[in-house]
Structure 1
Amino acid sequence: MTGGLLRATLTLLTGSVAAHAIPLVLGPALTRTYSPEAFGQFSLLWAVATNLAVVGCARYEFALPLETTEPRAAQLMALCARVLLAVTAASVAVAAVLAAVRGLPLAWTLPLAVLAGGATQWLSLWATRSQRFALLSAARLVQQGGGAVLQLLLGLLKMGPLGLVLGATAGGLGAAWLLARPAPAGGWAGLWRAPWAGLRTLAAQHKDFPLLNTPHAFLGALQDTLTLVLLAAWTGDAAAGLWALALRYLKAPATLVGGALAQALYPNLLKAASPADARRRVRQAQLGLAAVACPLAAVLLVWGPGLFAWAFGAQWAEAGQLARAIAPYIALHFVASPLAVVTMAWGAQGWALRLALVGQCLFFAGLATGLHLGGLVGAGWGVSASMLAYFAYYFWALANWEDMPHESRA
């Protein structure tokens, strides 16, 4: 990594370590406070909320680092705020469907969870634009660490799955409040006074983000949602809870390291001196991530079942078998996760969307085949096997990209 990218990544990583250490340390207490069924219900609701929140601003927030003047950045902030408000309002209808079709008692909390997730992502990009990495680290600590503490406290009050939802939502809202500094030009009230004519012009200029990146992001989040729906329908809420717990803790390193690297890599790539320099930075990121991912996967393959049973209790023993099965997939995801910003920086979102659709098909083919042949653990092995070739091609393509921006590539 270059010096600037390394310093920025380490700054974000410092806060992320503390933020993720708290949920990890509290994990054994949480799994002894909440049942797999409670985790299953929470995870389904949270997956739907994440699915909506990830496109809460129609991905216009990712255009913020591209705006170099404060008035235009303020206009873009106004556009994001109005789109997020609309998506939050629309989530009320989704909540009603969940309550009617799935009989999910937590459905009424969905709009608040969508608002928390969407606002945190939006304001994180606002902080990224001005490279306020220390503030981003603090916000991550509030969101992840504070949310986990609240979940445990609410669990001790016997609030069941509602405690998991309210704790996570409160953590997200707290992080968003922290990130809302400084205000954009004209202040926060000014976002609602911005004329629609100017916002429409700005929206058209950044149309690739809603047209290309929004479907990509939505489909990526939809993968988690549909996975939990499929598991709950096939094997029950407890299996969905086991899957959610395993993925939550196994993807924590990817969220920790990958999230920090992505927030630093995106503006870094925009400043690359040449296409060759940009490719070099991406290759360095890939190698650095792989050096961390491979040992983690080896530990899970050898000791995964025993570690999970020891850490989380006997009722979560099957999650350890699942952890071993999805270890290869987790390693690949660890490397791929922060690289999602590369195609945004290079103007290759159309290519990324097309490839993601292929990846979705492969993922669910492996999941369904594995479920049919070997139940929950079989699903894990099926996903690991089906995604190997996909990620191998993805890494090769980014490392050997010919020119940027590039939307003509098949």
Structure 2
Amino acid sequence: MINATSKLITSRFSKNVLALVSGAFIAQVISFAASPILTRLYTPENFGLFALFLSYVNIVSKVGTLCYERAIILPKNNSSAYNIAFLSLIILLVIALLSTSLIFAFSGRLLSLLKGAYTISWLYWVPAGLLLVGIFNIVKSLHIRQKGFRSIAFARIGEAASASVAKIAIALFAGATAGGLILGTITGFMVSLAIIIRSPDLFHFAEIRRSLNSKSIKAVAVEYIQFPLYATCNAILTVITQNLIVLVFSIIFSPVIVGLYSLGNRIIRRPLNIMSMSVQNVFFQRIAHEYNHGARILPSLIKTTGVLFITGCIPFLLLMIYAEPLFGTIFGKKWFQAGVYVRILSPWFLVLFAVAPANTTYEVFKKQHMKVFFTLAKALLSISAIWLGYKLTGKPEDVIAYFVSANVLVEISIIVGAIFITYKNDLTTISGKAA
């Protein structure tokens, strides 16, 4: 494993990961540095409403392009990639309009479900978040295809810096409410999109004009139909599962509990997600290239997963021991309970970090239906675990513990499944070369 780690670090793959992770690290340092200020300006209740807004944006953004933007990386020629990008943009605009209509139609019913504990003015910002995140993801996929990882890194840094400054400024000059957290986040989305879209090498407009036509758009829509059929379903189930506690807690517990949980989860999950997606994006590009050229993929999958797991053990073990005093000291005494929740979540965080390469494998081999099965199992087990924890004790800590146990089990199953399908593919590749 030491030899494998050494080779991985010196590879082009590692350099690309380093570019993304470096940007993610700087972005997280900025966000983390701002967090002790924000937790003293805003209340746990403010963070609870903000968490609900982010959960809705995360959910609708997963269906925003029907996952077609993830297929942009796969075609051998740029013409098909441009047509997929344009198709993704059309779908995004339609779904943004549809979501706006649904919000105006059903906002009253949502307020009733939340039992009046939350205002719903934040809900009208969800379509704006959807559009900004959706366009960013489309452009990001074009960058990944062309190995423009540095542009993505700079965009993440710009998002973190602008969002942090905006949230603090709004609290100081307009008052600290949940709206300040939401508007600050929207500002960050806008800045990150402005940065990533300004690359001079990204858009070759003459080639784009030659490539785009209705026939080609229909062709790629059919060729990559697995993405809306399976990847979208999987993505929605995944993001609902990830945000399930916030959604359920907003109904059964107070906004204060939601805010405490959401801060702890966000402080750890944000750098974790950025680093995991950095690895996943680069690994996706790498194994897609290897797959198109008939190379073996299993060694890359095992090495990368093993390195991520070993690398993640130390920080997450420290979190399990020191989370409570750390949160109380850094963010203020009223946030001590958030550290309790983080300690319980730590085993799940570790497995989520290690599963990143396995998640891409299902898409490269067009086995999205298997991933949907795992994600459906995760959703059902998570709901059952939350219900069981709430019925047995009614304590948030126990609900989270049952939720973590169910999710760790499924994430390990995803890794095992990825190894199995990669092994079968490599056997076919070897047999083909031998013949």
For normalisation by structure 2, the TM-score amounts to 0.87
1:74 pairs with 2:82: yes
Kindly state the Cα deviation for residue 54 of structure 1 after the two structures are TM-superposed.
2.0
* Aligned partner of residue 63 in structure 2, secondary structure: coil
Kindly state the Cα deviation for residue 392 of structure 1 after the two structures are TM-superposed.
2.3
1:65 pairs with 2:73: yes
Q: How does 1:108-119 map to 2 (within 5 A)?
A: 108-119=124-135
Task: State the partner residue of 2:190.
Answer: 173
Kindly state the Cα deviation for residue 338 of structure 1 after the two structures are TM-superposed.
4.8
Q: Please, which runs of 5 or more residues in structure 1 have no aligned partner?
A: none
Question: What is the one-letter code of the residue matched to 1:334?
Answer: F
1:334 pairs with 2:334: no
Q: How does 1:170-209 map to 2 (within 5 A)?
A: 170-180=187-197, 181=199, 182=201, 184-186=203-205, 194-209=212-227
Question: What is the one-letter code of the residue matched to 1:352?
Answer: K
Cα distance, 1:97–1:283 mapped onto 2, change above 3 Å: farther
1:27 pairs with 2:43: no
**How many residues are treated as equivalent by the alignment?**
405
More moved, 163-172 vs 364-373: 364-373
Q: What is the RMSD of the two structures over their aligned residues, measured on CA atoms?
A: 2.3
Q: Please, which runs of 5 or more residues in structure 2 have no aligned partner?
A: 1-7, 112-119, 428-435
Kindly state the Cα deviation for residue 359 of structure 1 after the two structures are TM-superposed.
1.2
Cα distance, 1:160–1:387 mapped onto 2, change above 3 Å: same
Kindly state the Cα deviation for residue 276 of structure 1 after the two structures are TM-superposed.
7.5
- Which whole-Å CA distance do the structure 2 matches of 1:225 and 1:345 have between them? 26
Deviating above 6 A after TM superposition, structure 1's stretches of 4 or more consecutive aligned residues are 273-276
Kindly state the Cα deviation for residue 198 of structure 1 after the two structures are TM-superposed.
3.0
Contact 2:359/2:414 (8 A) holds in 1:
no
Cα distance, 1:111–1:189 mapped onto 2, change above 3 Å: farther
More moved, 80-89 vs 270-279: 270-279
Question: What is the one-letter code of the residue matched to 1:118?
Answer: G
Kindly state the Cα deviation for residue 283 of structure 1 after the two structures are TM-superposed.
0.9
Q: How does 1:82-231 map to 2 (within 5 A)?
A: 82-96=90-104, 99-103=107-111, 104-157=120-173, 158-180=175-197, 181=199, 182=201, 184-186=203-205, 194-231=212-249
Task: State the partner residue of 1:305.
Answer: 324
- Which whole-Å CA distance do the structure 2 matches of 1:9 and 1:29 have between them? 31
- Which whole-Å CA distance do the structure 1 matches of 2:334 and 2:357 have between them? 33
**Higher CA-based Rg:** 2
- Which whole-Å CA distance do the structure 2 matches of 1:296 and 1:341 have between them? 24
- Which whole-Å CA distance do the structure 2 matches of 1:161 and 1:133 have between them? 33
Out of 387, 392, 406, which is 1:368 matched to? 387
1:381 pairs with 2:401: yes
Contact 2:234/2:371 (8 A) holds in 1:
yes
Task: State the partner residue of 1:249.
Answer: 267
Contact 1:127/1:133 (8 A) holds in 2:
yes
Identity %: 19
Task: State the partner residue of 2:339.
Answer: 320
Out of 398, 403, 406, which is 2:424 matched to? 403
- Which whole-Å CA distance do the structure 2 matches of 1:340 and 1:145 have between them? 29
Cα distance, 1:238–1:190 mapped onto 2, change above 3 Å: farther
Kindly state the Cα deviation for residue 256 of structure 1 after the two structures are TM-superposed.
3.2
Kindly state the Cα deviation for residue 187 of structure 1 after the two structures are TM-superposed.
6.6
**What do residues 15-56 of structure 1 show as CA deviations (whole Å, max 9, x unaligned)?**
111111111111111111111111111111111111111221
